């Protein structure tokens, strides 16, 4: 689909279950599930395919769409247009253009992972009461400068992959599989392949355009979680992966939750996965699915 000023934003429509009695759904057209539709937003340098294990489970219950953020996947990579408001507008445009928000009264659950959680929070604020719930999957509650102790340039340098990992597609996939061999499957293989491009020399390079990656990181460092989450209307669930020994991420989440409650918002529900890595969609797909399906319920 196209968004202003003519950029293409790609999304995967995972569909939805049909109701046995053929009754109309609230956001997905006749014969589809009556719960709010779900829009999934991937993390930095990733694509919509990262959501495959979760999306496949969700579509048994709800209408599900996963988008590629601009500069990522099959979406356009404009030289500018990575400001918070524009990224939020892309999410709103996908929600409307996909049919998740096709009719008056339709509402959508926004789910973001990492950087996508930040974008989801901005979009939830923009949608107001058209957002039924917000799920932050290991991100979206931290001031990154404080959390990392880095500036944007140092953070960007830390994203570089070791040369031996990028020497071939085989080496890259082996590296990704080694994160947790037990959870490596066809979905993870496809998601990993979508993040790189194979060159004629046989090496691989990141699929995310360098200028888009830099712009997104600089936008990430603008994020003010306490202010933003205090302005989000719907219920919020935060899924926290492994924290460091200081508990700094838990403390940041507690500060964001306190700011939200001080502004009159509902408490943030927290689910902790202390032994799992950042990619909870891979390591805890069923738990992530269950949390998403509960996102529009009052805390």
Mean pLDDT confidence for 252-278: 95
- What's the mean pLDDT when you consider all of the chain? 92
How far, rounded to the nearest angstrom, does the alpha carbon of residue 77 sit from its chain's CA centroid? Answer: 18
Note every long-range contact of 221-224, with CB atoms under 8 Å and residues 24 or more positions apart, other chains counting.
221/144, 221/145, 221/151, 221/152, 221/155, 222/84, 223/84, 223/118, 223/121, 223/143, 223/144, 224/143
Which of the residue ranges 21-25, 130-134, 261-265 would you say has the lowest mean pLDDT?
A: 21-25
Number of domains in the chain: 1
Residue 165 located in a structural domain = no
25, pLDDT greater than 70: no
CA 104/CA 107 separation, integer angstroms: 9
Mean pLDDT of the 54-60 span:
95
* Rounded average pLDDT over 204-233: 96
Assigned token pair, 241? 């992966």
pLDDT at residue 4 in the model: 66
202 domain residue, yes or no:
no
Cβ atoms of 22 and 31 closer than 8 Å = yes
Q: What domain range includes position 33?
A: 2-148+212-293
**CATH number of the domain within which 35 lies:** 3.40.50.1820
HEC string for 196-231: EEECCCCCEEECCCHHHHHHHHHHHCCCCHHHHHHC
* pLDDT top residue among 34 and 92: 92
In a domain? residue 163 = no
Q: Degrees (nearest 5) of the Cα angle 196, 166, 218?
A: 60
**Within a domain: 237:** yes
User: Quick check: 271 and 177 in contact, CB under 8 A?
Assistant: no
Is residue 37 in a domain? yes
Are the CB atoms for 46 and 191 separated by under 8 Å?
A: yes
Assess whether pLDDT exceeds 50 at residue 19.
Answer: no
CA-derived radius of gyration, the chain? 18
Answer yes or no: are the C-beta atoms of 82 and 215 closer than 8 Å. yes
The token pair that represents 46 in the structure block: 């990733």
* Host H or E run for residue 253: helix 248-262
Q: Give domain status of residue 182, yes or no.
A: no
Instruction: Tell me what pLDDT residue 299 has.
Output: 62
Q: For residues 27 and 241, which has the higher predicted lDDT (pLDDT)?
A: 241
Comparing CA positions, the residue from 65, 64, 70, 95 lying closest to residue 9 is 70
> pLDDT tens, 98-134?
999 999 999 999 999 999 999 999 999 999 999 999 9
For residue 5, what pLDDT is reported? 65
Does residue 236 fall inside a structural domain?
yes
Q: Is residue 197 part of a domain?
A: no
d(CA 172, CA 175): 5
């Amino acid at each position: 689909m196209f968004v202003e000023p003519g950029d293409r934003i790609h999304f995967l429509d995972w569909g939805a279950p049909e109701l046995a009695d053929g009754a109309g759904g609230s956001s997905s057209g006749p014969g589809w599930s009556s719960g709010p539709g779900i829009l999934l937003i991937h993390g930095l340098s990733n694509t919509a395919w990262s959501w495959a294990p979760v999306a496949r489970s969700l579509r048994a219950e709800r209408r599900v769409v996963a988008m590629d953020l601009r500069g990522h996947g099959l979406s356009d990579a404009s030289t500018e247009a990575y400001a918070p408001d524009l990224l939020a507008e892309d999410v709103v445009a996908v929600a409307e253009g996909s049919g998740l928000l096709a009719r008056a009264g339709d509402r959508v659950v926004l789910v973001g992972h990492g950087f996508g959680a930040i974008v989801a929070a901005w979009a939830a604020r923009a949608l107001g009461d058209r957002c039924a719930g917000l799920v932050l999957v290991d991100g979206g509650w931290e001031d990154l400068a404080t959390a990392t102790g880095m500036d944007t340039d140092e953070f960007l340098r830390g994203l570089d992959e070791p040369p031996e990992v990028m020497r071939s597609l085989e080496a890259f996939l082996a590296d990704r599989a080694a994160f947790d061999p037990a959870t490596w499957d066809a979905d993870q293989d496809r998601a990993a392949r979508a993040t790189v491009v194979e060159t004629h020399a046989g090496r691989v390079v990141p699929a995310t355009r360098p200028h888009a990656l830099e712009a997104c990181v600089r936008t990430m460092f603008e994020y003010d979680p306490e202010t933003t989450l205090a302005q989000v209307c719907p219920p919020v669930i935060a899924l926290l992966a492994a924290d460091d020994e200081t508990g700094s991420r838990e403390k940041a989440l507690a500060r964001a939750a306190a700011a939200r409650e001080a502004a009159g918002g509902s408490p943030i529900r927290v689910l902790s996965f202390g032994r799992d890595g950042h990619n909870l969609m891979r390591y805890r797909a069923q738990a992530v699915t269950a949390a998403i399906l509960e996102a529009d319920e009052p805390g």
